[in-house]
């Protein structure tokens, strides 16, 4: 017997009922719309007859489903495992990319890592293209590393709708909830919601994380780049300039009474000219030293300026000091019947000098010249000085000179001076009185063997590390050379400033004492007769010292280019290659940002989950809610053309409330 089942069938509705008869499934099918009967139909009980079809016209055989129990659908375990593995791999992307990328950046910052590839041209000529490629790859890597952060931000923003509604028993403002649920909710709107406190802390975290990821995506790729560096090539013996024993002055155990230099004055004239060219005209001569003028470096011979090389060489390291020493006695009178020779002592410096004052002429108002090196002697040993010092004499006529129209004068205020009285040959005329000052400059030379690098563009760099001596610079001979390098600066250091001030010497010498362009030559040419002279103030001693060091460095190039002597030193030719480089400040900031994002990712992993803003969750939350009805009414009243913001505004300050806690329907209050 069939079980008694009563079904009410509406011919226009789709209702399906299933009966089981003789282990066979049947469907109760809907009558066609044109059916004759509109009344309720009843299925009566009937006896089961084996092999006899059912005579109920409302029951027709359906498709044969199965005579056995329905099989249980097994989950796709392999896909589930792959999906779980993908989630784990996604979670590991950020720390993996951060550690790998930052470790590589710190590595290339501390040592040279060459770029080698057989797929494209990695020569320095292709540097611009390589830089673009490295930046593009860095952007891709950082974007992949930030993928978990973008997913986290999307999850937090998707959960925010239900989080802000469910976590607030009093409800959330409608206009705020409606904006948060919008996928195009922008940064400005987010900041406004944060200021009004209409969002959860997780939403604030999402906004801050978005900003951090943007900054990281901008800085991190720019922290890695490429540049060129030199690597060692062939080992060669290089010929460089040298100063050996007896090259400048031939001596055995002691200095002779009269020192005779083996170097001609022509070379010293060229040295003074180079000092003028480099310091007054600003034109480089030969190789330039990048790390300052306080290095005197022997010049390599026959080295092309486009060949990068490094070699070992003795280098003269200058620590120059210039001073105006106090002389004694403070006043001296020249004997009319003897040559104009006066001896001065410098007690603090343990020096004395014998000066032939033939340059002090009563027809000149000012005088400026270099003392002869042999006139300065060590007081203790009564020998010529070998410290490399050079002395200049500055004199001005205070009274009794024949210069009726003095055009320039020197201000010696604050400078130690001695008074020199020169008797006039005409006894009826007053004596000439001169104020004389001395300038002493000491190079304080230290000879050390350093590594010198040539960059392939004419610039030398002296490295800091010291090596065993190469013996291409003899200390004593080098100091004697430095004492005489500027001996002809008075006559060979460029042109004179003019006949009116010819006593000051050349432009190079004037710039040493007074700085560049100290005299207004145009005003001097228009000066009226008997007008007050231009007063020249001596430059500060610090400026004089710096100029002296630069001139000494420039002048040394003439005598250390192999003209005096040569020496072979070990050298290596360098090959230029493309290497990775890193900007340390950007890498450090990127490290901090990576750490912050990792902390956010870990902390957010343990957050309380909320439903995401999906169709399923929204539909469930609106079951039994009055919101659809209210919204439809507002839309009908406002018209189809009204904007969403205007329709939301008509609801005023109503709030969205979740009734019944989690899983409850949403209502408007």
Q: Determine the pLDDT at residue 663.
A: 62
Q: Are 333 and 351 in contact (CB under 8 A)?
A: no
Quick one: average pLDDT of 364-370?
74
Q: Are 274 and 555 in contact (CB under 8 A)?
A: yes
Q: Determine the pLDDT at residue 359.
A: 58
Residue 18 clears pLDDT 60, i.e. is over it: no
pLDDT one-digit tens code per residue, 74-102:
556 788 778 788 888 888 889 999 999 99
Q: Are 532 and 407 in contact (CB under 8 A)?
A: no
Q: Determine the pLDDT at residue 43.
A: 39
Residue 372 clears pLDDT 90, i.e. is over it: no
If phi over 0 gives left and psi between -120 and 50 gives alpha, with beta otherwise, what is residue 640?
Answer: alpha
pLDDT band per the 50, 70, 90 thresholds, residue 588: very high
pLDDT one-digit tens code per residue, 275-305:
999 999 999 999 999 988 999 999 999 899 9
Instruction: Tell me the Cα Rg of the chain.
Output: 49
By C-alpha distance, which of 12, 15, 19, 13 is closest to 44? 19
pLDDT one-digit tens code per residue, 646-662:
787 777 778 888 776 66
Q: Determine the pLDDT at residue 543.
A: 95
pLDDT band per the 50, 70, 90 thresholds, residue 146: very high
Q: Determine the pLDDT at residue 616.
A: 85
Q: Determine the pLDDT at residue 71.
A: 54
More confident residue, 249 or 402: 249
Q: Determine the pLDDT at residue 174.
A: 75
pLDDT band per the 50, 70, 90 thresholds, residue 24: very low
Lowest-confidence range among 150-159, 222-231, 310-319?
Answer: 150-159
Residue 51 clears pLDDT 60, i.e. is over it: no
Quick one: average pLDDT of 102-126?
89
By C-alpha distance, which of 99, 98, 213, 198 is closest to 151? 213
Residue 361 clears pLDDT 70, i.e. is over it: no
Lowest-confidence range among 51-55, 272-276, 305-309?
Answer: 51-55
Q: Determine the pLDDT at residue 271.
A: 96
pLDDT one-digit tens code per residue, 603-627:
988 888 888 888 888 888 888 788 8
Q: Determine the pLDDT at residue 492.
A: 92
Reduced DSSP (H G I as helix, E B as strand, rest coil) percent helix, strand, coil of the chain, to 5: 35, 25, 40
Tell me the C-alpha distance between 16 and 619, whole Å. Answer: 26
Q: Determine the pLDDT at residue 536.
A: 87
pLDDT one-digit tens code per residue, 514-530:
998 787 666 665 666 67
In the chain, the N- to C-terminal Cα span, in Å, equals 58
pLDDT band per the 50, 70, 90 thresholds, residue 465: very high
Domain definitions of the chain by residue range: 1-69, 81-223+585-622, 233-292+301-315+447-474+556-575, 322-446+482-550
Task: Work out the percent of the chain whose per-residue pLDDT is above 90.
Answer: 38
Calculate the alpha carbon distances from 197 to 168, 190, 226, 265, 545 in Å.
Answer: 12, 10, 47, 88, 67
How does the average pLDDT of the chain come out, rounded?
80
Tell me the C-alpha distance between 623 and 628, whole Å. Answer: 9
Could you please report the per-residue DSSP string of 87-153?
HHHHHHHHHHHHHHHHHHHHHHHHS--B---SSS--SGGGHHHHHHHHHHHHHHHHHHHTHHHHHHH
Lowest-confidence range among 18-32, 95-109, 236-250?
Answer: 18-32
Quick one: average pLDDT of 371-394?
84
Residue 67 clears pLDDT 80, i.e. is over it: no
Tell me the C-alpha distance between 261 and 599, whole Å. Answer: 76
Q: Determine the pLDDT at residue 110.
A: 92
Return the H-helix or E-strand segment holding 224.
Answer: strand 224-241
CA dihedral 271, 273, 278, 279 (to 10 degrees): 100
Q: Are 550 and 293 in contact (CB under 8 A)?
A: yes
Q: Determine the pLDDT at residue 545.
A: 96
Quick one: average pLDDT of 628-651?
80
Which residue, chain included where needed, has tokens 């922290």?
A: 223
pLDDT band per the 50, 70, 90 thresholds, residue 665: confident
Tell me the C-alpha distance between 142 and 457, whole Å. Answer: 37
Residue 326 clears pLDDT 50, i.e. is over it: yes
Residue 341 clears pLDDT 80, i.e. is over it: no
Calculate the alpha carbon distances from 391 to 72, 313, 437, 514, 583 in Å.
Answer: 109, 29, 10, 16, 49
Could you please report the per-residue DSSP string of 518-548?
-S-HHHHHTPPTTPPPEEEEPPPHHHHHHHH
The number of C-alpha atoms within 13 Å of 559 and in the hemisphere containing its C-beta is 33
**In what side-by-side order are the strands of the sheet with 666-668?**
172-173, 655-658, 666-668
Q: Determine the pLDDT at residue 28.
A: 37
3-state SS record for 316-378: EECCCEEECCCCECCEEECCCCCCCEEEEEECCCCEEEEEEHHHCCCCCCEEEEECCHHHEEE
Q: Determine the pLDDT at residue 235.
A: 93
Q: Determine the pLDDT at residue 661.
A: 63
Please count the other Cβ atoms lying within 10 Å of the Cβ belonging to residue 106.
14
More confident residue, 451 or 659: 451
Local structure of residue 31 (DSSP, 8 states): P
pLDDT band per the 50, 70, 90 thresholds, residue 567: very high
If phi over 0 gives left and psi between -120 and 50 gives alpha, with beta otherwise, what is residue 202?
Answer: alpha
Quick one: average pLDDT of 385-400?
87
pLDDT one-digit tens code per residue, 156-166:
888 887 887 77
- Is pTM beyond 0.85 here? no
Quick one: average pLDDT of 306-331?
91
Dig out the tokens for 525 from the structure. Answer: 């040419």
pLDDT one-digit tens code per residue, 467-513:
999 999 999 999 999 999 999 998 999 988 766 566 788 999 999 99
Q: Determine the pLDDT at residue 364.
A: 59
Q: Determine the pLDDT at residue 57.
A: 42
Q: Determine the pLDDT at residue 38.
A: 40
């Amino acid at each position: 017997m069939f079980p008694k089942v009563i079904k009410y069938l509406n011919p226009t509705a789709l209702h399906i009922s299933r009966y089981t008869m003789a282990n066979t499934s049947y469907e109760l099918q809907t009558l066609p719309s044109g059916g004759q009967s509109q009344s309720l139909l009843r299925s009566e009980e009937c006896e089961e007859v084996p092999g006899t079809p059912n005579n109920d016209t409302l029951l027709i055989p359906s498709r044969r489903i199965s005579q056995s129990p329905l099989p249980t659908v097994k989950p796709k375990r392999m896909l589930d495992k792959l999906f779980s593995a993908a989630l784990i791999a996604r979670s590991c992307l950020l720390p993996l990319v951060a550690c790998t990328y930052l470790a590589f950046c710190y590595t290339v910052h501390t040592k040279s890592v060459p770029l080698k590839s057989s797929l494209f041209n990695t020569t320095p000529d292709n540097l611009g293209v390589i830089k673009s490629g490295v930046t593009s790859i860095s952007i891709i890597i950082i974007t992949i590393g930030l993928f978990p952060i973008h997913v986290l931000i999307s999850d937090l923003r998707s959960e925010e709708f239900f989080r802000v509604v469910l976590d607030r028993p009093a409800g959330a403002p409608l206009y705020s909830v409606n904006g948060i649920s919008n996928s195009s909710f922008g940064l400005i709107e987010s900041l406004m919601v944060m200021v009004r406190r209409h969002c959860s802390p997780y939403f604030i975290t999402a906004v801050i994380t978005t900003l951090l990821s943007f900054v990281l995506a901008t800085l991190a790729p720019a922290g890695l780049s490429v540049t060129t560096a030199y690597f060692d090539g062939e080992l060669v013996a290089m010929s460089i300039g040298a100063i050996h024993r007896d090259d400048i002055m031939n001596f055995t155990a002691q200095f002779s009474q009269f020192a005779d230099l083996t170097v001609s004055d022509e070379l010293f004239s060229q040295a003074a000219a180079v000092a003028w060219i480099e310091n007054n005209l600003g034109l480089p001569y030969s190789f330039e030293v990048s790390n300052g003028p306080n290095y005197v470096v022997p010049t390599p011979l026959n080295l092309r300026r486009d060949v990068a090389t490094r070699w070992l060489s003795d280098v003269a390291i200058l620590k120059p000091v210039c001073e105006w020493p106090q002389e004694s006695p403070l006043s001296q009178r020249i004997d009319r019947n003897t040559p104009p020779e006066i001896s001065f002592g410098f007690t603090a410096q343990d020096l004395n000098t014998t000066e032939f004052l033939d340059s002090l002429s009563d027809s000149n108002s000012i005088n400026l010249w270099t003392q002869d090196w042999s006139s300065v002697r060590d007081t203790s040993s009564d020998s010529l000085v070998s410290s490399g010092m050079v002395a200049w004499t500055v004199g001005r006529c205070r009274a009794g000179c024949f210069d009726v129209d003095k055009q320039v004068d020197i201000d010696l205020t604050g400078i130690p001076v001695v008074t020199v009285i020169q008797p006039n040959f005409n006894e009826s005329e007053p004596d000439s009185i001169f104020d004389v000052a001395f300038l002493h400059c000491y190079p304080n030379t230290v000879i050390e063997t350093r590594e010198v690098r040539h960059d392939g563009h004419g610039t030398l760099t002296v490295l800091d590390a010291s090596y065993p001596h190469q013996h291409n610079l003899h200390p004593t001979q080098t100091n004697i050379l430095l004492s005489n390098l500027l001996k002809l600066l008075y006559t060979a250091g460029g042109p004179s400033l003019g006949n009116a001030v010819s006593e000051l010497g050349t432009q190079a010498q004037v710039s040493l004492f007074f700085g560049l362009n100290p005299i207004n030559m145009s005003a001097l040419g228009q000066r009226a007769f008997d007008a007050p002279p231009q007063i020249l103030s001596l430059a500060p001693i610090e400026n004089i010292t710096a100029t002296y060091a630069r001139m000494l460095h420039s002048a040394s190039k003439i005598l250390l280019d192999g003209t005096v002597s040569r020496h072979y030193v070990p050298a290596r030719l360098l090959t230029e290659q493309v290497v990775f480089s890193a900007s340390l400040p950007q890498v450090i900031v990127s490290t901090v940002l990576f750490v912050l994002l990792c902390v956010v990712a870990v902390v957010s992993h343990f957050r309380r989950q909320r439903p995401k803003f999906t169709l399923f969750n929204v539909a469930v939350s609106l079951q039994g809610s009055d919101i659809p009805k209210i919204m439809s009414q507002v839309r009908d009243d406002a018209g189809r053309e009204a904007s969403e913001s205007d329709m939301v505004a008509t609801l005023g300050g109503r709030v969205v409330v979740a009734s019944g806690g989690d899983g409850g329907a949403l209502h408007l209050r």
